[in-house]
Amino acid sequence: MIEARSLSKRFHDKKRGQICAVENVSFTCQPGSIYGLLGANGAGKTTTLRMLATILEPSDGTALVFGHDIIEYPEKVRANIGFLSTATALYPRLTAQEMVEYFGRLNGLDEATLKKRIDDIFNRLDMNSFRDRRCDKLSTGMKQKTSIARTLVHDPPVMIFDEPTLGLDIMAARTIVAFIRECRQAGKTVILSTHVMSEVEKLCDVIGIIHNGALLAEGTPTQLREKYQEKDLEEIFVRIVTTHVARPVPAEAS
Amino acid sequence: MSARNIAIVYRKELLEALRDRRTLISTILVPILLFPILTVGVGFVVAGLIEEADREPARIMILGGTDSPGIVSSLAKSKNLIVVAEPANYVELISNKKIRAAVEIPPGLESSAGTDYSPVKIYMYSGDLKSTTAAKRIEEFFNDYRDNLARDRLKAQKLPASFLKPFDIQQKNVVSEEKVAGETVGGIISYLVIIMCLTGAMYPAMDLTAGEKERATMETILSSPISRTHLVLGKFLLVLTASLVTAALSVTSMGVSSWVFQHFQDQSSGSAIHIKIGLGAVLSVFLVALPLAVMFSAALLTIALFAKSYKEAQSYISPLMVVVIVPAVAAMLPGVELTPRLSLVPILNVSLLCKDLIAGTYHWNSIALIFLSTSLYAGAAIFIAIKMFQRESVLFRS
């Protein structure tokens, strides 16, 4: 489970001064379901997910990921998550197998368990034909599969996907979408950020609409449709976002 | 668990480095090839040029000398000199390298029996090898002529040849070959070790930080459970390895190249300056350079981490070369000796100490002080590198 509690993140920019990327965001993601964080570019999706993955530290608030506080136990949090984004590239000079082995070892797997898990994942994702090929020689689809294998090697109970299909062709994107569904079926807690409405409709059990760093609305697709008396999720999103007036950044923030 | 994680990162970085052509070139190939090319290659080319200048007859011009036909005739007959009889402007001819030198014979040189001679003047192109060689030959000719004249005059006065030169002066080296090595090549070796420790660490440091940001793998590794301290230590150890390997290969390559060059010189000329550098001295130099390599590796990692790309990292790191070269070169200057105050100046202290070590001089107080102070600087550099890896503003600079 993921439980975000009043998460806020402020950055200092030389030209623009204090920037509030995320402000007071709270939500809960349940195991066996997919939570979709929906927002435009710059809405605060990536910052929120990076805080959950303990890559960034919150300025205020905290979150529990699989029962571990992200501020107090960041390493335990990272041991229980699989984080996949377009910014999580592969090491070009490692082979697909070496890449996955590296992350398996960093996750504390012993060699026997690691071998078993890699064989299992490589068979499942049909990766045996390129397991000894260097990552810089892989096609986009092969790279996606290797990234998936990297996030799965330690069998984490929580999966965090930051715009996972951004820039991918249809086939590669389908692989990712299928993988996200499999994670839900396996009972994992899944959080996904996207601005692609079709992805939200296909995948998400709960949607959180984020804009200017604030979570403006939350609910299942049905709940949102009922509340806004509108069938089209895109229309709902636009209505919520355009009626929202950005709040000023707190002056005392650091 | 921590040592295991550091080892995992180190092993992976090593594997990637060994597969990276640019790292292999800067860490292994350049230090191996640089010195054979510099010493053997350039050495043989220079030796060849000198030999050619020695062999080639030099065109010279005689100014005056009409009343000294014997001298002019002997000069014209002397080996490796061709006398050109053009009445042209000798300065222009020497400048244009049409002739190599000109000699002005004062009036009455041959006929005069007196003692009041005007000097014989040799005009030449300073710095030009062939002109210098020609001037030397002319000078040798007139030295012989003067010696013969003096000898004849002594004989006429029934005086022995030793009358003008009652005793000889001899210089003799009384110190060991190690000490000679310390004074002659100690400075260069120290400089080399220091510079190579730096250059060997430069490329890996940039590749493991700015390169990782550029390839978008930084976020991948930061999402794994490894702590940032262990991550930076694993990376640091790889940079340190590259630094030490480069320095070791450079010194080995320089030693082998110098030996080969000296061996050939011995065979061809039968004489050479004999210097000796003991294995113990070289190992001591490496031991002293170790904290310096640690300091360089950590400092380079920290600086390169600020950059968003490899190119940006290069522009940050290049000025560092000057900061390192100046104290390293200062140690080579004559008269710069190790003092307690200089023992605390980073880089310069190690450079001066290495010179002493190669000379076989072990001042244990200085060694301890320099080792401790450099270790302290190195520790501070590692601490800063670890702190920088914790800073989001550095890792995610935009």
pLDDT band at B398 (very low <50, low <70, confident <90, very high): low
**Cβ distance B26 to B69 under 8 Å?**
no
Distance CA B53, CA B50 (A): 5
Greater pLDDT, B251 or A251:
B251
A107 in contact with B, Cβ within 8 Å? yes
B217 contact residues in A (CB cutoff 8 A): 88-91
pLDDT at B277 over 80: no
pLDDT at B172 over 50: yes
DSSP letters, A185-223, are: HTT-EEEEEES-HHHHHHH-SEEEEEETTEEEEEE-HHH
pLDDT band at A253 (very low <50, low <70, confident <90, very high): very low
Q: What is the largest CA-CA distance in chain A?
A: 56
Q: Cβ B226–A56 below 8 Å, yes or no? A: no
A67 in contact with B, Cβ within 8 Å? no
ipTM of the complex: 0.88
pLDDT at B312 over 60: yes
Distance CA B175, CA B196 (A): 30
Mean pLDDT of chain B: 85
Nearest to B220 among A75, A79, A89 (CB): A89
Q: Cβ A56–B396 below 8 Å, yes or no? A: yes
B228 in contact with A, Cβ within 8 Å? no
B15 in contact with A, Cβ within 8 Å? yes
A143 in contact with B, Cβ within 8 Å? no
> To 10 degrees, what angle do helices A233-243 and A221-228 make?
60
Q: Which of B2, B222, B223, B398 to mutate to test the interface with A (most CBs of A within 10 A)?
A: B223
pLDDT digit string (tens) for B21-74? 888 998 889 888 887 887 777 777 887 888 887 788 888 999 888 888 888 888
pLDDT digit string (tens) for A12-37? 877 888 888 999 999 999 999 999 99
Own/partner contacts of B129-136, CB < 8 Å, gap of 24 or more, are: B129/B49, B129/B50, B129/B53, B130/B53, B130/B56, B130/B58, B130/B97, B130/B100, B131/B94, B131/B97, B131/B100, B131/B101, B133/B53, B133/B54, B133/B58, B133/B100, B134/B58, B134/B59, B134/B60, B134/B81, B134/B100, B134/B101, B135/B100, B135/B101
- The whole-number pLDDT of residue B181 equals 73
B219 in contact with A, Cβ within 8 Å? yes
pLDDT at B77 over 80: yes
Q: Which is nearest to B60 in space by CA: B43, B78, B46?
A: B78
Sign of the four-CA dihedral B98, B103, B108, B111? negative
% of chain B exceeding 90 in pLDDT = 30
Q: Cβ A108–B225 below 8 Å, yes or no? A: yes
Taking CA–CA distances from A12, the nearest residue in chain B reads B393
B8 contact residues in A (CB cutoff 8 A): 102, 105-106
- The whole-number pLDDT of residue A252 equals 38
**N-terminal to C-terminal alpha carbon distance within chain A:** 29
A98 in contact with B, Cβ within 8 Å? yes
Q: Which is nearest to A27 in space by CA: A221, A207, A213?
A: A207
**Mean pLDDT on A39-62:** 93
For residue B83, give every residue at least 6 positions away whose Cβ sits within 8 Å of its Cβ, in sequence order, or none. B60, B61, B62, B72, B75, B76
Nearest to A88 among B8, B223, B226 (CB): B223
Distance CA A224, CA A218 (A): 7
Distance CA A68, CA B233 (A): 26
Query: In angstroms, what is the C-alpha Rg of chain B?
Result: 31
**Cβ distance A150 to A103 under 8 Å?**
yes
Own/partner contacts of B141-150, CB < 8 Å, gap of 24 or more, are: B141/B74, B141/B75, B141/B78, B141/B81, B142/B103, B145/B71, B145/B74
Distance CA B4, CA B12 (A): 12
Residue type, A205: D
- The whole-number pLDDT of residue B266 equals 64
Work out the burial of residue A228: count CB atoms within 10 Å of its CB; fewer than 13 is exposed, 13-18 middle, 19 or more buried.
middle
pLDDT at A248 over 60: no
Task: Say if pTM beats, i.e. exceeds, 0.95.
Answer: no
Give the number of other Cβ atoms within 10 Å of residue B89's Cβ.
10
pLDDT band at B274 (very low <50, low <70, confident <90, very high): low
Q: How many CB pairs under 8 A join A and B?
A: 66
Mean pLDDT of chain A: 89
**Mean pLDDT on B182-211:** 86
- The whole-number pLDDT of residue B10 equals 97
**Mean pLDDT on B364-390:** 90
pLDDT band at B18 (very low <50, low <70, confident <90, very high): very high
Q: Which residue has the tokens 């300091």?
A: B295
Q: Which is nearest to B185 in space by CA: B273, B61, B283, B308?
A: B273
b/e A30-63 (16+ beta carbons within 10 angstroms → b): eeebbbbbbbeeebbbbbbbbbbbbbbebbbbbb
- A2: alpha, beta or left? (left if phi > 0; alpha if psi -120 to 50): beta
Nearest to B224 among A56, A78, A98 (CB): A78
Greater pLDDT, B360 or A72:
A72
